[in-house]
Chain A
C-alpha cells in the first residue's frame, strides 16, 4: 500500500463487458478495486483478498482469474467480463436462470464469482461430467449451499446451452 503513495498513476484502458473504459490507476492497484470503486461494478465481491475464495472471479480474455490478485496494469487492453456483463437485454444467461431454478444462490456473495466460474467451465467443456463440475468449481468457495444445488444448476445450464 505504501508503494501506491510514492508511485504515480498510469492510464489504463480496459474493455469491460464490451465497453472500452479508460481509468487512471496506480499500476499495482488490484483489478478488483478498480472495477468496484472506479468503474462502479460492485457485483464483483471480495471474500478473502488472497485468491482462496474465488468471490472476486472475473473473466479476462476468457480466462477465469481472481481479480484480487491481478494488478490493473497487467490487464491493460484486455476484455473483462464481470457478472454485470452476463445478462443481455434483461435476459438472464442460462446459468443465471439455472441458479434461480435450482437454488444455486443463497446469501449471494459467492454467486457472481461462482457463476463466472461455471460460465468459464461451460465455455471450455460444454458437456461436463459431475466430476468435471466439482473440479471446475473447486476454486470458488460457497459456505451456504454445500454446492449440490450449484452442481445441478451447472448441469442444467449445460443442457440448456446445447439445446
Chain B
C-alpha cells in the first residue's frame, strides 16, 4: 500500500458536504415539499399537572377542513419508546407537564393553524404540581412511580469511616447548575408520509434514525420493513435531536395516517424552546475528607438531576454524571449517590456532555474550595490528587494509558501565562474597579456508551464497492455539523489507500444503511470509525484474494480493480460488527469496572474581568489543552473544541431558563441569550496526542469534552477575582451584584463552611 505518501488521516481535507452548505444548496427538512402536503400543529396542555375533563372545538373554525388526531387514533402503543415507555405520544387523560401534547391538527394552509390551535378548548381538573428537586424529594405529591425517582445509582469504593476520622479537615459544599437550551439554529422539523402498502416514511432533522424507527414501530404496530426513517441535512443538534424527533415523527405520522396526505411539522422557535428537551438542572453535594497538605482521603458525593415529567434519557444522563462526579482525581475511598427525580416540567434530555458538565462543575469548584480552605494553591491541590497510570477511578477502572495530568496542567499554565497573570491580578485588583481573575478546570470525558452500552448497541457498519470503482460507507451515524461524513470517509480512504474523493457515504436512511447506533456520546469517530476501518479493510482483502489487486498499488489501480470486481461479482458489501475488547469489563449491578473504553483528558484555563460598575463578566482569554487520542482532522477537531467552549461560556454566564409553573418563560432568542461573536474571547486550542487502541487510527471521542470545562474554569476565575465563592451557574450580573451586596467582607466564604474547624 502506498500509505506513506498518501496520508489522509490527520489532514484537514475539505468538509464533504461543505460546498453545499456554503452555497445554500443543502436540503434541510423545511426545504422539502411533497405534493399535496399538509402542515401540522400541536395542541398542548396549558397546565403543569392534572386530568383532562373535556376537549371542545370552538365554532370559530371550520373543523371539516382539518385533520384532527387524538390519542384514540394511535394504532399501536401510545408511547414514545426509548429506554422506558412512560412518555405518551398524546396525553389521553393525565397531564404531567405544561407542554404535554394533547391533540394534533393539520391543514393545507399553515396560516390557519395558529387560530385553530387556539380554538381547541381543553378543560382540566388540576392537580398540585412539583417544580423543583427539593419539592420532588419531599414526596408530598407522588408524580412518578412510588417515590418520584426515575433511577438511582450507588458507586462505592473503599472504606469511608476511617478517612473521615483521620481527616485534618472535612470540606463540604453544595453546587447547582441550571437548565440549558441546545439552541440549534434549525428548529425541530419532520415530514411523514403514509402508504397502506409500503408503510411510513419520515424525513427529518434528527441524530438517531433508528431511535425514531423503533418509536414508530411501537406507535403504529408495524414491522421494521414498513417504517423508513431518512435524515435530512440537520442544522445543529447537540443532543437536542436525540430523542424529541421521535415525538415529532410520531405526530407527523399520525396526521399523515389520518389525512392520507404527507404532513410537515416544523416548530417555530418558541415551541421548540418550550416543548423540547433541555439540559438537566442539577444539584451536587460534596463532603470531602482531606489531609492538611491537600490530599483527598475519601469523600461522599450526592448528585441529583431534575428529569422532568418522564423518564426518557434521564437514567443514562445520570449515569454519565455519576461516573464523572469524581473528576480526574484519585479517590482512595468514595461513595457517590446519584438520582434522577421527577418534576412537572417537560422532560429534560441529552445535551452535549450529558450529565458530565453538571457533576464536573461541582467537582472543579470544590477543588478550588478545598484549596482555599487549606490555604494551598488550586494548582497544588489538583497535582496532589491527579489520577496516575495504574491507579483506579471511582469505579475501580485501572488507568492504563500513560497520561501525565501534572504535565498537562503545567503546559496549560504555561500557555495561559498563569503564574505571571495571577501575581499581576492580585496586585492590580486591590485598587481596581475592574477585577481580574484566572481559573483552572481539569477534567476527563469518557468516550462512547457507558459500561456495557456499546455491547448492547451491537453496532453494524457497511462499506460497499460501487460500479465506478469508488467505495461507499453505509452507517446510520449522522452529520449535524461535527464532520461525521468527512472523518468517516477519511478513515475509509486511509484504510484502503485510496484518495479521499474515492470514498462516499450514504444518506442515513433505515431502508439502506445498517444500524451503526445513535450519533451521541462522542462515539462516532472512535467506535463507528473503527468499524468503518475494519469493514474497509475487508474490501481490500477481498480484492487481493480475488487476484485483482497486488500488495502495492496506486489509488487508480485500486479503482480499476474495484470496478472490475463489481463487473464480475456485483456490488460487494463488507459488514463489520462491534465486538467489545476483552479488557473492557463492567458490572452493571454494583457499578464497578471499565466505565468507558477510553477517556479524553483536559485542562482549561479562563481569564476574566468583572466590572464592578455593571457586574458583567468578560472572558478575556481561554486556553484549552486536551489529550483526545489522535486528531484525525485538525480543523474539524478545533472546531469541535471552540464550539463546545462557546456553549460552555453560555452555560456559565448567559443562558438562563426562566421557569414559570414548569414552563419556559423566555423561549425566544430575544430573552434567552447565547453568546454572539462579540462575546467570545480568543479560544486557544492545543492538543496532546497519546493515541488510543480502541479508536480508529488512535482517535478518542472529542465532541462532548469541551462542554465540561468552561463553566468551572470561568466561575473559578470569577471567584478568584472577587474573593467570593460562587457555586451555581448560570452566573449572571444580578447574581454577582447580590453576592457582593450581601457579602460585606470579601475574605469569607458564604457557602457551607468547613465543618471541622
Most buried by A among B22, B23, B237: B22
CB within 8 A of A48: which of B114, B635, B642, B668? B668
Smallest CB separation, B613 vs chain A (Å): 22
Q: Closest CB of chain B to A124's CB: distance in Å? A: 16
Residues of A within 8 A of B112 (CB): 1
Chain B nearest CB from A117 CB (Å) reads: 9
**Cβ of B631 to closest chain A Cβ, rounded Å:** 13
**Chain A residue contacts of B26, Cβ below 8 A:** 108
> Are A107 and B24 in touch, CB under 8 angstroms?
no
Is B611 part of the contact surface with A, judged by Cβ < 8 Å?
A: no
Which residue of chain B has the shortest Cβ distance to A42 in the bound complex?
B31
- B676: contacting residue among A48, A84, A138, CB under 8 A: A138
Residues of chain B contacted by A92 (CB below 8 angstroms): 19, 22-23
Asked if A142 is at the interface of the complex by the 8 Å CB criterion, the answer is yes
Residues of A near B646 (CB, < 8 A) are 145-147
**Contact assessment for B645 and A102 in the assembled complex, using a CB-CB cutoff below 8 Å:** no
Verify if B555 is at the interface (C-beta below 8 Å from A): no
Bitwise interface map of A from 98 to 114 toward B, beta carbon under 8 Å scored 1, else 0:
01111111111111100
Name the residue on A nearest B238 (C-beta).
A143
Q: Once bound together, how far apart are the Cα atoms of A102 and B634, in whole Å?
A: 10
Interface centre among B18, B31, B184 (most CB of A within 10 A): B18
Cβ 8 A contact of B185, one of A44, A133, A142, A150: A142
Across-interface contacts of A134 in B (CB, < 8 A): 677-678, 680
Chain B residues 170-201 with CB under 8 Å of chain A are: 182-187
Interface check B10, CB cutoff 8 A = no
State which of A50, A86, A87 has its C-beta within 8 Å of the C-beta of B669.
Answer: A50
Tell me if B30 and A146 are in contact (CB < 8 A). no
For residue B183, which residues in chain A have a CB less than 8 angstroms away from its CB? 143
A13 nearest CB across to chain B (Å): 23
Number of A positions contacting B (CB below 8 A): 59
Minimum CB–CB distance from A92 to chain B (whole Å) comes to: 7
Contact A148 B21 (CB under 8 A): no
A-side contacts of B20, CB under 8 Å: 108
Q: How many pairs, one residue from A and one from B, have CB atoms within 8 Å of each other in the complex?
A: 174
Determine how close the nearest CB of chain B comes to the CB of A97; give it in whole angstroms. 8
B623 to chain A, nearest CB (A): 13
Other-chain residue from B23, B237, B636 in contact with A103 (beta carbon distance below 8 A): B636
Nearest to B676 among chain A residues (CB) is A138
- Counting CB contacts under 8 A, is A11 at the interface? no
With known contacts A4-B111, A103-B639, A140-B677, A84–B23 Cβ distance under 8 A = yes
Interface size class of B (residues with CB under 8 A): 35 or more
CA distance A55 to B30 in the complex (A): 14
How near does chain B come to A3, taking the closest CB pair, in angstroms?
10
Most buried by B among A96, A104, A109, A151: A109
Q: Are A106 and B185 within 8 A (Cβ)?
A: no
Please give, as numbers and ranges, the residues of chain A lying within 8 Å of B234 by CB-CB distance: 107
**Provided the pairs A92-B22, A149-B642 are in contact, do residues A49 and B185 lie with their beta carbons within 8 angstroms?**
no
Complexed CA–CA distance, A20 and B263 (Å)? 33
Interface code B645-685, partner A: CB below 8 Å = 1, 0 otherwise?
A: 11100000000000000000000111000111110101100
Residue among A53, A82, A104, A144 having the largest count of chain B Cβ atoms under 10 Å: A144
A42 touches B236 (CB 8 A): no
Within 8 A of A (CB), among B670-703: 670, 674-678, 680, 682-683
Q: For chain A residues 29-66, which have a beta carbon within 8 Å of chain B?
A: 36, 41-50, 52-53, 55
Instruction: Tell me whether B24 and A145 are in contact (CB under 8 A).
Output: no
Interchain Cβ contacts under 8 Å between A and B, 29 examples: A43-B23, A45-B28, A45-B30, A48-B668, A49-B268, A50-B669, A82-B24, A96-B23, A100-B22, A103-B15, A103-B638, A104-B22, A105-B21, A106-B236, A107-B21, A107-B480, A108-B233, A108-B235, A109-B236, A110-B235, A135-B677, A137-B677, A138-B678, A141-B674, A142-B677, A144-B481, A146-B642, A146-B644, A148-B682
Residues of chain A at the chain B interface (Cβ within 8 Å): 1-2, 4-5, 36, 41-50, 52-53, 55, 82-84, 86-87, 92, 96-97, 99-112, 115, 133-135, 137-151
